[in-house]
Each structure stands twice: as C-alpha cells, then as structure tokens.
Chain A
Amino acid sequence: MSNVPKKLRYTASHEWVRQDEDLFTVGITDHAQCMLGDLVYAELPELETSFDNGQECAVLESVKAAADVYSPISGEIVEINEAVIENPQLINEDPYGKGWLFRIRPFDPAGAQLLSADQYSKQLASEAH
C-alpha cells in the first residue's frame, strides 16, 4: 500500500503537485519511487526553461530503470532541489517532502488538469492486477 497524501494533487504519470501561492512544487509519488527502486541519479531541468503540460522535463535513474518525469502543467522552471542531485536517496526516503524535484511557475494556474488523491488512489488500485 503506497502513501497518497490527501492534500496533494496528482498526474496519471505518477507525479505529485503542491500549489504554493503562484508556484507548483513537483515530485514523484511513493508508488513511483517504489517501482523504480533505489535511485542513483537525478537529472533535473535547467532553470528558466519552459515546458508544456505533459512534456518530459527530468529523468530519474535507478539501477534497473531510467524514468522520465513529466511536467504537470505548462510553465517555467524557477527552482530545482539541489539536495536530490547530491543525494538521490532522499526521493526514496521522503518523496513528498525532502525529495521534491522542482518548482514551476504555471502560465495558466487555473488551467491545471490534475487528479485528486482519491482519483490517483483509484488509478493505482486498477493498475495493480
């Protein structure tokens, strides 16, 4: 059973999103970090680059996989979490806290199409057969 905090919102591709004023903080979910296994490397986007909703903007690497992280909304990267570059284990240990990946300023915050915690949990349940 993976952890799905109620206060956050989610994407179908296993990112979580927290709205902090005009910024979105983004990371990967507990389910995602578990599937990937021990993370060994995080390649984060460059500051001030823009991405479309659903565009690949980061890569997380474990021993057995390299997974793309998709931007949950169109916007510009304003901050990245250097700590996970130094120490990718943070993503495994605390995916919703210290393991955050980047902050993005959405071009249109109201246009976000994200899942609620319940909707994401339902998706996880249907994926596990």
Chain B
Amino acid sequence: MTSLIFEQSQNGRRAHAQIPQQIENSLDLAANLLRQDKPTLPEVSELQVVRHFSRLSQRNFSIDTNFYPLGSCTMKYNPRGVHRLAFLEGFLLHHPLSLEQDSQGFLACLYELQEMLKTVTGMHAVSLTPMAGAQGEFAGVAMIRAYHKSRGDHARVEMLVPDAAHGTNPASAVQCGFKVKEIPTDSNGNVDLNALQKAVGPQTAGIMLTNPSTLGVFEQQILEISKIIHDVGGMLYYDGANFNAIMGKVRPGDMGFNVVHLNLHKTFATPHGGGGPGSGPVAACPKLAPFLPTPMVAKEDMSYRWLTEKDCPETIGRLSTFMGNAGILLRAYMYARLLGREGMQRVAEFASLNANYLLARLTAAGFTPAYAGRRASHEFIITLRNEAKTLSITALDVAKRLLDYGFHAPTMYFPLLVPECLLIEPTETESKEILDAFADTLIQIIQEAQTNPELVKQAPHTLPVRRLDEVKAARELDLVYVKPGEKNSEKKAVVQNTGT
C-alpha cells in the first residue's frame, strides 16, 4: 500500500519554491495568543507530494478510467473543455464580493443558466445557491413551510415521503421541523394511491417525490397524486435526482410540482470530484417563488445585478456564504451551451436507450428485473434474490467481483424495498460495446458463482485491498494518524522556528 504522507516526512524538509520570503519582524502579538506547537502537516519535498498524490489517484476508479453505472448518480462524461474554461483567470481570481459592475461576465452566465433551468423544468423562477441536492431539498421543504406559515396555516406539520425515497428526503424534512410519514409503494413500483388518500389531511404540508422514481420506473399516476395533494392544500416537491431520464421530454411543472431541485453534478455533467462538490438549484411555481433562497440574479436592460433579501423580503434566506458552488454553476452553464437544445433533447433519449438495451440483454440472459414488464427509465433494478438462494451469493459479492473486471459496481441495496438489488444507470455517454461488455461480464460472474464460487464470494482479488473490515473500523475508531509515541493532539513542547 502507499504509505501515509506523514510516514514519508523528514524533519526540516520543505518545498522551498512555494514558501514566501521570511520576514524579520517582531510580532505585535501577545504570547498567549500564539501557537507554540507544530501541527501534523507533512514535511516533504514538492516531488514527494506530486508522486504521493499521483500514486493515490491511481488507486481510484473514475468515469475517466472505468464504466461507472452507479444508479441514481448519473455518472456521465465530465467534459474537459468545461473544466479548463472554468479556470480562466477572469473567473478564477474573481472575488465574490466584487462590485456588480466588475462581475457582469459571471452574472451573465448565472442569469442565462437560471433561464435555461426554468425552461427545462417548466417552472417560474430559479435560485442557483443550494450547494448540493440535499441543500436543494432543504430549501424546497423550507419554502413549503414558509408558504403555509404565510397563509397563517399552522396545522401543516407533516411531510409525506414514499418508502422508496432517497434518505436525504426524510432527513431534509426533519431538518425543517416536519414530521415524516411514509407512503408505501405497490408491486408495480408506483405510489399506493389508496394509502396516499388515507394519509392526507389538513396536517399535510406536502409530498416529496422523484419521477421517474428511485425504482427506475415512471410514476404513471403523477397527475392523480398531484390532485390528491393539491385538493387538501398541500404542495408537491420534485427531487431531480432522476431528471436525466426525462429532460427535454417532460417538465416537472407540467406534472403538478410546485418546487423542484436539480442535481447539476448528475444531469449537467459537473465533475463528481470524489464526493462533490455538487449543486442543487431550486425552481419554484409562482406561489412559492417569493420564498426562494437568495441571492439570485436579475437582468435590467443590458446589465445584471444581484437580488438580495431587500428585493425578496419573503425569502427563506441565504444558504451559503456567497453564491453557492459558483464554479460548478459555471460548468453546468457551459455544458448546457455545448449541448444546446438539440443536444439536451437527446440526453434522455439515449440515456433511456442505453438503460433499456442493457435491461433487455440482462433479462434475456436470465437476470430478474425488479419490475418486469415495465419500461426502464434511464436506470433499472435487477434483483439477485434468486441467485442468493440458489447460488448463495449476494448482490454485494457480485458488485465486488465486477470491480475485478474494471467496472465500478452499480448502486447496491438501494432502494431498500428490493432485496439483493443492483440499481444500474449506464448514462447516454457510454457506447454499445461497453454495455455489451458489462452484460457479458455479469453473465460470466454468475457462471463463476456456479463453477468457482469462492472467486465471487472473496472478491475483489485484483485491487489494492481485499474486502475491508468495516466492523473493526466502526468499533475501533482510527480517524486520524498519530505519530508513534505521541498522544492525539498532545501539546508539543517544540517551539516553532521561523525558517530553519
């Protein structure tokens, strides 16, 4: 394994080219305000740093190097040109608190992105500030809460969430002070309308839905659901995680949704970065628009300006220090400009084509789709429940064996409703050959499970590590490196030398 960078440190070693000139000055700071010890940062040369982190990068799977069919995450190609242009100095060195007149280039991009997102969602107004899907959800739910409060309606204490929903949905609702009630899903993968009808009432603030749902199928009764909720005075929230399946085909606004969040790091191809940054802009119908989080961007004549709390007195407020994940918004804007209307139209078409093709190949090979007979959206679920019984292998085993073949595993065990499930989303940027190779590999793994089961059950075999002991990690917490012989965060007696 690659040793920790701390283990490669040598006392007094440094990357001289990166350190500013030493200044001989007496400090005007009292001793009790000053740091006396040395923090645990590596003392290494520049080459050591470059080599260490380059080597680490080689121990990762990524879209650039591997097919990554992680369901619900939309792992499509992250365009390089977009990343390079985001690094133009005029954007990179631009301070967020610059005067408006010095921010027109940036504001123009944001304004146009707002407009494009209004168009694709069919909504009335957009705020780009939430920094991830979860923050977008928080904003949307907070807006619903503010709306009811503004009408003097304090009875609306419950938020409805399908039992198949992503965990961020109920978590966000609770963060906004709501009680969560779960609505069951029927055997076709749709929300149970009877259960829904029984669950609504004057206490219903709204419902949070994804469409297509987390089960990979289109919620066909969405207009009925919308009516049930609206009839009791509730609002509909759209979780945009699966927007890649319907962009350019269906608009959430037309389905009856009142507030929508999009995941730009999914649908708009911004880089996933090893776990973020994301971006979760939120779009609203006219009733909820006054509550959108600030700041937003307005256009007046030919110039752009910020909309703040002064312009939006009913806003739920600011959610980030500045303008959310600004650089991600720029990248999403550029991606949308590269695609244009024709390209955007084809995203959902080819995402669905790829998903349905893969589903067809796997079904023909004997795998069990969770919702046979239903059209896949941009993703689908296969359940390995039969294989678990007959071959004693689990979805986890299959996922780990896929890694040996250079494929990142699909999403496992989500949604929670389907046992031993794999949620597979190929995205539109993958070719037919890759899909065939993936299908062939899954078929091969099932054969291995029959002829040489340990190969599957003990996988992965070819990666930097074998299966990791997660129980040990949770029982014996080792979360920071401590130099042998030192106690964690022990005050060290070493007085800092400035520039040896």
Interface positions of A (Cβ within 8 A of B)? 37-38, 40-41, 61-63, 88
B474 contacts the other chain (Cβ, under 8 Å)? yes
In the assembly, what is the distance between CA of A62 and CA of B475, in Å? 9
| Residues of chain B contacted by A62 (CB below 8 angstroms) | 471, 474
Q: How many A-B residue pairs have CB under 8 A?
A: 14
8 Å CB interface, B226-258 against A = none
8 Å CB interface, B460-495 against A = 470-471, 474-475
In the assembly, what is the distance between CA of A108 and CA of B474, in Å? 39
Interface size class of B (residues with CB under 8 A): under 10
| Residues of chain A contacted by B471 (CB below 8 angstroms) | 37-38, 40, 62-63
| Residues of chain A contacted by B474 (CB below 8 angstroms) | 40-41, 61-63
| Residues of chain B contacted by A40 (CB below 8 angstroms) | 471, 474-475
| Residues of chain B contacted by A61 (CB below 8 angstroms) | 474
In the assembly, what is the distance between CA of A88 and CA of B470, in Å? 15
Query: Of all chain A residues, which has the CB nearest B474?
Result: A40
| Residues of chain B contacted by A38 (CB below 8 angstroms) | 471
9 A-B contacts, Cβ less than 8 Å apart?
Answer: A37-B471, A38-B471, A40-B471, A40-B474, A41-B475, A61-B474, A62-B471, A63-B471, A88-B475
Q: From residue B416, how far is it (CB to closest CB) to chain A in Å?
A: 10
Q: From residue B151, how far is it (CB to closest CB) to chain A in Å?
A: 33
In the assembly, what is the distance between CA of A62 and CA of B474, in Å? 8
Query: Of all chain B residues, which has the CB nearest A37?
Result: B471
Q: From residue B95, how far is it (CB to closest CB) to chain A in Å?
A: 43
In the assembly, what is the distance between CA of A11 and CA of B471, in Å? 28
Query: Of all chain A residues, which has the CB nearest B471?
Result: A38
Q: From residue B358, how far is it (CB to closest CB) to chain A in Å?
A: 27
In the assembly, what is the distance between CA of A88 and CA of B474, in Å? 11
- List 4 A-B pairs, minimum CB-CB distance, nearest first: A40-B474, A38-B471, A63-B470, A40-B475
| Residues of chain A contacted by B470 (CB below 8 angstroms) | 63
In the assembly, what is the distance between CA of A63 and CA of B475, in Å? 9
Q: From residue A52, how far is it (CB to closest CB) to chain B in Å?
A: 18
Query: Of all chain B residues, which has the CB nearest A89?
Result: B475
Query: Of all chain B residues, which has the CB nearest A61?
Result: B474
Q: From residue B381, how far is it (CB to closest CB) to chain A in Å?
A: 19
In the assembly, what is the distance between CA of A37 and CA of B474, in Å? 13
In the assembly, what is the distance between CA of A61 and CA of B475, in Å? 10
In the assembly, what is the distance between CA of A91 and CA of B470, in Å? 18
| Residues of chain B contacted by A41 (CB below 8 angstroms) | 474-475
Q: From residue B492, how far is it (CB to closest CB) to chain A in Å?
A: 31
Query: Of all chain A residues, which has the CB nearest B413?
Result: A64
| Residues of chain B contacted by A37 (CB below 8 angstroms) | 471
In the assembly, what is the distance between CA of A41 and CA of B471, in Å? 10
8 Å CB interface, B417-470 against A = 470
In the assembly, what is the distance between CA of A40 and CA of B471, in Å? 7
Q: From residue A76, how far is it (CB to closest CB) to chain B in Å?
A: 27
Q: From residue B412, how far is it (CB to closest CB) to chain A in Å?
A: 11
**Beyond known contacts A40-B474, A61-B474, A62-B474: 11 more, CB 8 A cutoff:** A37-B471, A38-B471, A40-B471, A40-B475, A41-B474, A41-B475, A62-B471, A63-B470, A63-B471, A63-B474, A88-B475
Q: From residue A1, how far is it (CB to closest CB) to chain B in Å?
A: 16
In the assembly, what is the distance between CA of A45 and CA of B156, in Å? 32
Query: Of all chain B residues, which has the CB nearest A41?
Result: B474
Most chain B CB within 10 A, of A37, A61, A63, is at A63
Q: From residue B59, how far is it (CB to closest CB) to chain A in Å?
A: 22
In the assembly, what is the distance between CA of A61 and CA of B471, in Å? 11
In the assembly, what is the distance between CA of A61 and CA of B470, in Å? 13
Q: From residue A37, how far is it (CB to closest CB) to chain B in Å?
A: 8
In the assembly, what is the distance between CA of A41 and CA of B475, in Å? 7
In the assembly, what is the distance between CA of A45 and CA of B78, in Å? 49
In the assembly, what is the distance between CA of A37 and CA of B475, in Å? 13
